[in-house]
Amino acid sequence: MNQENTKMANQLSTEDLERFKRQLTLSGYTKEHQFRLKNSTALIAGVGGVGGTTALYLAIAGIGRLKLVHSGVLTSSNLNRQILMTEDWIGKTRVDCAKAAIQRIASGVQVDIYNERMTPENSAGFIRDADVAVSARPNFPERCALNNACVKHGIPVIEGAMFDMDAYMFSIKPGLTPCFHCLFKDADSRWQELGFPVLGALSGTLGCMMAVEAIKVITGYGKPLFSKMLLFNLANMEFNTIAINRDPDCPVCGTLRVSTGENK
Amino acid sequence: MSTAIITIKLFGPLRAKFESDPTLPIRENETIQTVIERLSIEAHPAYLYSLNGRHAKASSQLHDGDVLLIIPPISGG
């Protein structure tokens, strides 16, 4: 560890060192990684079954700040998967319940909440001070708005979605890897935002895996899913990883080029 | 001469069209696009294709033993 890294690691408090001592013994995971996490902000677009789980696991891993964006109120039918929600909150805004749940478990995390949808107009503002964005909204227009803003401003994105017992995920490093638009050029107008079948344990599994990806992208630990897509089906317990390519004619990221980053 | 056969893996909403991953004898100059038409899958410009684990285009030609994965966009969160 060089002098600067030693200085950073020393800024972890005694409480931090005790609270996170079990993950600080992970192979290759150092105090420097933990310090980076502590000083990072993740934008979570969607605190449902996927994004809510991601937010929870980022919080208990020691991220410094979460920005939660999700519009709407809690309904009974959300409770089979949205792990941050509680029965007594039905009829109230979900981001408030998500913040309360996270801060009961990890009171040191700063949680900023926005009862809004991601739009082309507001997305840049949400991601401006984020180190990573997590894409977990149940519709294509919001995923596209987040993708386009993140590509424009160079913010990495953890993209993940599920349907029934299937899920996929990949990580986007703008200018280096395919963006959402490179892979899925047109939103599918047949998609019903509130109609997809979902088992909470599956959306939670995906959310946990996206939290691991976000931690890797933030800290430099491990190898993120750059230019690869992980697909899994939990009915059959099948896992596949495929290579994915940038579209040189992509209107969102096609002209963007960046030098190879440390996480490649 | 033995018949050339490919295996097709469907993902997400497409999976319900078949009870298991279908295998399909292929014709000469068969492409992903022509296979989709033979399976009566409603093609969509947003579909992602993977051939033997690599990103492929609808115009990609198919060969004996290929594994084709057809991935529609999904957005459950």
For the segment A84-93, what is each residue's pLDDT rounded down to a tens digit? 999 999 999 9
CB contacts of A161 in chain B (<8 Å) are 73-77
Q: What is the pLDDT of residues A119-147, one digit of tens each?
A: 999 999 999 999 999 999 999 999 999 99
Tell me if A264 is assigned to some domain.
no
pLDDT at B2: 72
* Phi, psi angles (nearest 5°) of residue A97: -65, -40
Average pLDDT of the segment spanning A15-19: 97
Distance from CA of B15 to the nearest CA of A (A): 9
The total number of structural domains that make up chain A: 1
Q: What is the pLDDT of residues A145-169, one digit of tens each?
A: 999 999 999 999 999 999 999 999 9
Distance from CA of B8 to the nearest CA of A (A): 14
Q: Which of A94, A162, A168, A188 should one mutate to test binding to chain B, selecting the residue with the greatest count of B CBs within 10 A?
A: A188
pLDDT at A238: 96
* Residue bearing tokens 């939990």: A234
Which alpha helices (DSSP H) does chain A contain, by range? 3-9, 14-19, 31-38, 51-61, 94-105, 123-127, 140-153, 180-183, 200-219
Cβ distance B74 to A168 less than 8 Å, yes or no, reads: yes
- Rounded CA-CA distance B12/A258 in Å is 33
Amino acid code (one letter) for A82:
Q
Chain A contact for B41 (CB, 8 A cutoff): no
> Which range of residues forms the domain containing residue A155?
16-243
What ranges do the domains of chain B cover?
5-71
Share of chain B above pLDDT 70, in %: 97
Cβ distance B46 to A244 less than 8 Å, yes or no, reads: no
Q: In this complex, which of A138, A185, A241 lies closest to B77 when CB atoms are compared?
A: A138
Distance from CA of B19 to the nearest CA of A (A): 12
pLDDT at A260: 52
- Distance spanning both ends of chain A, measured CA to CA: 21
Asked if residue A215 lies in contact with residue A61, where contact means CB atoms within 8 angstroms, the answer is yes
Mean pLDDT of chain A, nearest integer: 93
Cβ distance A242 to B69 less than 8 Å, yes or no, reads: yes
Average pLDDT of the segment spanning A204-231: 98
Tell me if A98 is assigned to some domain.
yes
Average pLDDT of the segment spanning A214-223: 98
pLDDT at A255: 87
- Rounded CA-CA distance B13/A165 in Å is 10
- Model confidence, pTM: 0.93
Least confident of A103-107, B12-16, B36-40, B44-48: B44-48
- Other beta carbons within 10 angstroms of residue B7's beta carbon come to 13
User: What CATH number does residue A168 fall under?
Assistant: 3.40.50.720
Cβ distance B76 to A244 less than 8 Å, yes or no, reads: no
Residue B31 has pLDDT above 90, yes or no: yes
pLDDT grade, residue A41 (50/70/90)? very high
- Rounded CA-CA distance B69/A79 in Å is 33
Least confident of A129-138, A227-236, A247-256: A247-256
Q: What is the pLDDT of residues A62-95, one digit of tens each?
A: 999 999 999 999 999 999 999 999 999 999 999 9
pLDDT at A259: 57
Mutual orientation of helices A94-105 and A51-61 as an angle, nearest 10°? 30
Cβ distance A136 to B77 less than 8 Å, yes or no, reads: yes
CA nearest neighbour of A69 among A108, A99, A43: A43
Q: What is the pLDDT of residues A163-173, one digit of tens each?
A: 999 999 999 99
Mutual orientation of helices A51-61 and A200-219 as an angle, nearest 10°? 50
Tell me if A9 is assigned to some domain.
no
- Rounded CA-CA distance A129/A123 in Å is 12
Q: In this complex, which of A50, A167, A244 lies closest to B55 when CB atoms are compared?
A: A244
What CA–CA distances, in Å, run from A207 to A19, A211, B3, B7, B71? 22, 6, 43, 30, 20
In CATH terms, is domain B5-71 a member of 2.40.30.30? no
Residue A262 has pLDDT above 50, yes or no: no
